[in-house]
Copies of this chain bind each other. A is one copy, B any other.
Amino acid sequence: MSVLIVGSTALDSIKTPKAENPRLLGGSASHAAVAASFFGPVKLVGVVGEDFPRQYLRLYRRQGIDLGGLQLLPGKTFHWSGEYEANMNNRRTLLTELGVFEKFNPELPKAYQAAPFVLLANIAPALQHHVLDQMRRPRFVAADTMDLWLRVALADLLKLLKRLDAFVLNDSEARQLTGEDNLLAAFKQIHRLGPKYVVIKQGSHGSVLSGPRGLFLCPAYPLRRVVDPTGAGDSFVGGMMGYLAAARGPIERHIRRAMTYGSVVASFCCEGFGLQRTTRVNRAQIEARVKELERLTRF
């Protein structure tokens, strides 16, 4: 089954202590869509400007991503620039030029409205609502978010939580939302806000799922070298949703394995700038790391 993914489509200029790469393909929807594309059909909803490089459109297409929902507007593509410290955990934003993203109004093509799986990747909660308003009874809806929306659009986000099957956020966002340092206490509070499944991401420590059958401690694949972690969280949730959409049978049966696949795609994402490594990976390499994660966690 296909997964519809809405979020930001951007150009990322990324600086690390070792290199500087301008105008890479980036944005939450780009990372999530490429990650999901390994498992089945993906429909992308986003907006780009006239400066968006054609090669990036070709790249989406090579991954088999349906671009029927990608708007091309007069003006410039959303441009983000950031710099990482040597530990690759701390980063600071150098520049944010919203461009056409400021006017983004995600209108879904007819063919998109029946997609059974929906991933509302990181984007303003009002836009996430607007996408859901156009959907015809999707089977499974997941959303990601970021600290900014917890500060400036909390009411919208809280309303959104009631419409989700799964909510994915990172540990500092979970603390920000619930005021709880304890993971289990945070899960409890977030479930009360609506979602049946809550996933808290912990960066290189992996992620934790809380669902009807309890917790799952999802490992991160240990990497020798982190080149650029931008988009790792989006790759994780994209891979998870792509795997879930391709699997048959109940969500509960597949969600743990889906997270593990997401975790592996995120590991590839970190090994290159932007989407450079992820787009050179094949399914067999993903399977090999999933198998390795099984070995690394068995006792």
Chain A residues with a Cβ under 8 A of chain B? 86-88, 181-185, 202, 204-206, 208, 214-219, 222-226, 256-257, 259-260, 294-299
Q: Which residues of B contact A87 (CB under 8 A)?
A: 181
Q: CB distance A222 to B218 under 8 Å?
A: no
Distance from A11 Cβ to chain B, minimum over Cβ atoms (Å): 28
Say whether, besides A205-B205, A299-B259, A223 and B184 are in contact (CB < 8 Å): yes
- Bound together, the chains give a CA A152 to CA B299 distance in angstroms of 37
Q: CB distance A184 to B299 under 8 Å?
A: no
Q: CB distance B86 to A181 under 8 Å?
A: yes
Distance from A279 Cβ to chain B, minimum over Cβ atoms (Å): 24
Partner of A299, one of B208, B223, B260: B260
Q: Which residues of B contact A185 (CB under 8 A)?
A: 224
Task: State the oligomeric state as a number of copies.
Answer: 2
Task: Report, nearest first, the 8 A-B pairs whose CB atoms are least far apart.
Answer: A256-B299, A205-B205, A87-B181, A257-B299, A260-B299, A184-B224, A217-B219, A217-B296
Say whether, besides A205-B202, A222-B208, A217 and B184 are in contact (CB < 8 Å): no
Q: Which residues of B contact A226 (CB under 8 A)?
A: 182
Say whether, besides A205-B202, A205-B205, A222 and B299 are in contact (CB < 8 Å): no
Main secondary structure of the interface of A (DSSP, over half): mixed
- Bound together, the chains give a CA A225 to CA B182 distance in angstroms of 7
- Bound together, the chains give a CA A297 to CA B206 distance in angstroms of 12
- Bound together, the chains give a CA A226 to CA B204 distance in angstroms of 23
Partner of A88, one of B181, B214, B223, B294: B181
Q: Which residues of B contact A222 (CB under 8 A)?
A: 183-184, 208, 215, 217
Q: CB distance B256 to A298 under 8 Å?
A: yes
Q: Which residues of B contact A217 (CB under 8 A)?
A: 219, 222, 296-297
Distance from A268 Cβ to chain B, minimum over Cβ atoms (Å): 16
The residue among A206, A259, A296 with the most chain B CB atoms within 10 A of its own CB is A296
Closest-by-CB residue of B relative to A204 is B183
The residue among A183, A184, A217 with the most chain B CB atoms within 10 A of its own CB is A217
- Bound together, the chains give a CA A206 to CA B204 distance in angstroms of 12
Q: Which residues of B contact A181 (CB under 8 A)?
A: 86-88
Q: CB distance B224 to A182 under 8 Å?
A: yes
Say whether, besides A202-B205, A205-B205, A208-B222, A215 and B184 are in contact (CB < 8 Å): no
Q: Which residues of B contact A260 (CB under 8 A)?
A: 299
- Bound together, the chains give a CA A87 to CA B88 distance in angstroms of 24
Distance from A146 Cβ to chain B, minimum over Cβ atoms (Å): 22
Q: Which residues of B contact A298 (CB under 8 A)?
A: 256
- Bound together, the chains give a CA A260 to CA B181 distance in angstroms of 24
Distance from A244 Cβ to chain B, minimum over Cβ atoms (Å): 13
Q: Which residues of B contact A294 (CB under 8 A)?
A: 299
- Bound together, the chains give a CA A298 to CA B294 distance in angstroms of 8
